[in-house]
């Protein structure tokens, strides 16, 4: 069965085809150049960009893959959580295709799809301890099977990705800044006393990253030299070696503070809700090199199989929506053409 996946929940416009043996083709357009001017996603502009990009991307997907809409076994679309206007653009296209072809419509939970992306091209051993770290969410899940998820903990304020993006803005780096902070911190020793690992005194599994943002803001206020003098344009080559050494230590320390906070909460979750067979870490921040090495060490120590999505499938993408939609379709799920967008979810 070939499934089309449509992802428009935030600022990435992405469509993909997935068949039994895995992804066939993906077409993605990033809107970074539009939102970078504002230092964050502007919802109105995001939905207009989806509207402009989605039709042509979908047409290119069909023509370049040689698959015709009539061959689709299902149309899967991210129905939330996300930006309402953006979600509605994807849902509109999905409903139109289903009406025209008779294919079943599958509304997919964007967060669950991120986690299941770790199972593309490899099996996830269940039960799995799942960490979703993205620009909008930081959550710990118990995954009993491909389609059975229980939320164990979540952030009470900012998501981990927001800590990266807001720090990047303070350092004069482009939006979204996580990958620049990652690059600037690579190969540099973190100062463990520079930034707090927030909310660890709370015995539960929830997170709070807003204090980290405040600590960075205070640091930048005292040391204005931390700001990069020239902001690279999105997509331009970026040489971390040109940054001030103190800026690089600040970035390494932030990478460490986030990764170590995640490690401590995951260790706690494994103790409270285990035993688990595997550790899954997914979402945009799962591309962070320190988060990935933390996850590898932790899985080793807890004797869990480690499942990380490939780097290209950590950020928002249509493949993960098609992959999860295919699983739902094979299990007999489908939505009516009146299915609604779900704008916001628990962080």
Residues in the annotated binding site for substrate: 132-136, 165, 178, 182, 288
- The binding site for Fe cation comprises 110, 114, 316
Instruction: Identify the residue among 141, 164, 195, 209 touching ligand KG4 (CB under 6 A).
Output: 164
- Shortest distance, CB of residue 345 to ligand KG4, whole angstroms? 11
With binding defined as CB under 6 A, does residue 7 bind ligand KG4? no
Residues in the chain: 347
Name which position in 85, 119, 130, 284 contacts ligand KG4 (CB under 6 A). 284
Q: Which range touches ligand KG4 (CB under 6 A), out of 60-68, 175-183, 224-232, 297-305?
A: 175-183
Report the C-alpha gap between 267 and 289 in whole angstroms: 19
**Residue 344 to residues 30, 137, 163, 284: CA-CA distances in angstroms?**
22, 11, 19, 18
Q: In the set 2, 4, 6, 10, which binds ligand KG4 (CB under 6 A)?
A: 10
Least Å distance between CB 172 and ligand KG4?
15
Which of 13, 134, 138, 278: binder of Zn ion (CB under 5 A)?
Answer: 134
Which sign, positive or negative, has the C-alpha torsion 158, 162, 168, 172? negative
Please choose, from the candidates 202, 268, 201, 195, the residue with its C-alpha nearest in 3D space to the C-alpha of residue 226.
Answer: 195
Compute the distance between CA of residue 258 and CA of residue 4 in angstroms, rounded to an integer.
35
Classify residue 264 by burial, with Cβ atoms within 10 Å: 0-12, 13-18, 19+.
middle
CB of 114 to Zn ion, least distance (A): 5
208: which residues sit within 8 A by CB, 6+ positions away?
155, 156, 157, 158, 198, 199, 202
Stretch that binds Zn ion, among 128-136, 254-262, 274-282, 285-293 (CB under 5 A): 128-136
Q: Is 316 in the site for Zn ion (CB under 5 A)?
A: yes
Binding status of residue 285 toward ligand KG4 by CB under 6 A:
yes
DSSP result, 227-274: S-SSPPPTTS---GGGS-HHHHHHHHHHHHHHHHHHHHHHHHHHHHH-
252 makes contact with ligand KG4 (CB under 6 A): no
Interface with Zn ion by CB under 5 A: which range of 91-99, 134-142, 153-161, 173-181? 134-142
Query: Judged by CB under 6 A, does residue 294 bind ligand KG4?
Result: no
Query: Could you say whether residue 162 binds Zn ion (CB under 5 A)?
Result: no
Q: Which region among 13-21, 61-69, 127-135, 338-346 touches Zn ion (by CB under 5 A)?
A: 127-135
- 198-231: b or e for each residue (b if 16 or more CB lie within 10 Å)? bbeeeeebbbbbbbbbebbeebbeeeeebebeee
Residues that bind ligand KG4 (CB under 6 A): 10, 134-136, 161, 164-165, 176-179, 182, 283-285, 287-288, 315-316
């Amino acid at each position: 069965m070939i499934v089309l996946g449509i992802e428009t929940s935030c600022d990435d416009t992405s469509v993909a085809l997935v068949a039994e043996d895995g992804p066939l083709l993906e077409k993605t357009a990033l809107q970074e150049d539009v939102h970078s001017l504002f230092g964050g996603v502007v919802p109105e502009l995001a939905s207009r960009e989806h509207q402009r990009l989605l039709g042509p991307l979908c047409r290119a997907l069909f023509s370049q893959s040689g698959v015709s809409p009539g061959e689709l076994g299902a149309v899967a679309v991210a129905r939330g959580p996300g930006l309402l206007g953006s979600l509605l653009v994807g849902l509109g296209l999905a409903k139109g295709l289903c009406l025209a072809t008779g294919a079943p419509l599958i509304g997919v939970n964007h967060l669950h799809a991120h986690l299941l992306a770790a199972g593309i091209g490899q099996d996830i051993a269940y039960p799995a301890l799942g960490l979703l770290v993205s620009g909008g969410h930081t959550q710990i899940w118990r995954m009993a099977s491909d389609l059975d998820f229980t939320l164990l903990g979540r952030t009470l304020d900012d998501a981990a990705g927001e800590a990266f993006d807001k720090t990047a803005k303070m350092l004069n780096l482009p939006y979204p800044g996580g990958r620049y902070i990652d690059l600037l911190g690579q190969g540099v020793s973190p100062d463990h006393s520079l930034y707090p690992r927030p909310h660890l005194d709370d015995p539960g599994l929830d997170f709070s990253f807003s204090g980290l943002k405040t600590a960075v803001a205070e640091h930048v206020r005292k040391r204005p030299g931390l700001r990069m003098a020239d902001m690279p344009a999105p997509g331009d080559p970026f040489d971390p070696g040109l940054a001030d050494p103190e800026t690089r230590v600040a970035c390494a320390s932030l990478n460490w503070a986030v990764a170590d906070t995640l490690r401590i909460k995951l260790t706690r979750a494994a103790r409270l809700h285990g035993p688990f067979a595997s550790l899954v870490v997914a979402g945009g921040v799962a591309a962070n090199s320190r988060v990935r090495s933390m996850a590898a060490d932790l899985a080793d120590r807890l004797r869990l199989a480690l499942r990380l999505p490939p780097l290209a499938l950590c950020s928002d993408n249509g493949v993960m929506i098609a992959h999860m939609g295919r699983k739902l379709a094979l299990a007999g799920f489908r939505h009516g053409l009146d299915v609604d967008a779900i704008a916001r979810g628990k962080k």
